[in-house]
Amino acid sequence: MQTVFSKAEEIKNTNLRAAVCIVVETKGSTPRKAGSKMIVYEDGSIFGSIGGGTVEKEVAEKTLELIALGKPVKCSFNLENDLGMHCGGYMEVYIEPINPSQKLFIFGAGHIGKSIAHFARDFDFSLTVFDPREGIFSDPEFNGCNCIGKDYFEAIEETVFDENTYIVIVTPKHIFDEEILVKVTRKPHAYVGMLGSTRKVEQARSRFLAENLLTSEEIDSVDMPIGIKFEAQTPNEIAISILAKLIDVRNRIQNNNN
């Protein structure tokens, strides 16, 4: 039987919008006691219960207002004075919207891709790594990642992209990087970045424009060379610069939405 918390974790990996409601304090006679939980979906449906009746209906209506804001709130309810319930108790309910996990798609499972996967797992990204090379995912660093061992371009067509998708392109070949970039830039996403030297980036930009593969605006939306600019040299250092940029972009988006 699913718990509210396991259901909330499931929701994080979808595009559904919902919030967890937890009774944190009660006084007097109340339908349920502290610790009771439920999830309210944006369509008004409910999983679990905090007692049913008028108070549950009131909490659900309040939750629908808060889901759009994306911020947690603690609300208090006087069951007799506010809601006309004869039990006459008092409840405090903590309501926290379930924000979807940011999906991190890493194209290329070499040294840098592996390091990004290693560090990113601690920052609430849902990881998918793409690389068709045989045996490339044998390293334990990829444990817990969704590993796609197909041709890059076949995998792109079979994969769902959305506004919570962060894309990092670090394959072993420049031509793969460029062709993947062309394919994914027009998919829904929050961020796209490609590894490369300044010279490689300028050559790619010129090619994209000359062959009408991408517009100037689309090219400018791509982070290339990828990452926060500092003197990174080792794969781990480069991975940290990339992850720092992803966190910066994610936090800016969340702050703007709030």
Report the CATH number at residue 109. Answer: 3.40.50.720
Question: Chain-wide mean pLDDT for the chain?
Answer: 86
CA–CA distance, 54 with 84 (Å, rounded to integer): 9
What confidence tier does 115 reach under pLDDT thresholds 50, 70, 90?
Answer: very high
Examine the domain organization and report whether 148 and 214 are in the same domain. yes
- 207 touches 196 (CB < 8 A): no
Examine the domain organization and report whether 121 and 89 are in the same domain. no
Domain enclosing residue 70, as ranges: 4-98
Please write down the HEC assignment for all residues of 124-174: CEEEEEECCCCCCCCCHHHCCCEEECCCHHHHHHHCCCCCCEEEEECCCCH
pLDDT, residue 133, reads 92
CA–CA distance, 206 with 254 (Å, rounded to integer): 33
Instruction: Mark which of 31, 64, 98 sits at the end of a domain.
Output: 98
Examine the domain organization and report whether 68 and 130 are in the same domain. no
- How many separate domains does the chain show? 2
- What is the token pair recorded at 156? 């792109």
CA–CA distance, 108 with 117 (Å, rounded to integer): 11
- pTM score, two decimals? 0.74
pLDDT of 190 > 70? The answer is: yes
Instruction: Mark which of 98, 123, 140 sits at the end of a domain.
Output: 98
What are the φ/ψ torsions at residue 176 (nearest 5 degrees)? -65, -45
pLDDT of 29 > 60? The answer is: yes
Examine the domain organization and report whether 131 and 250 are in the same domain. yes
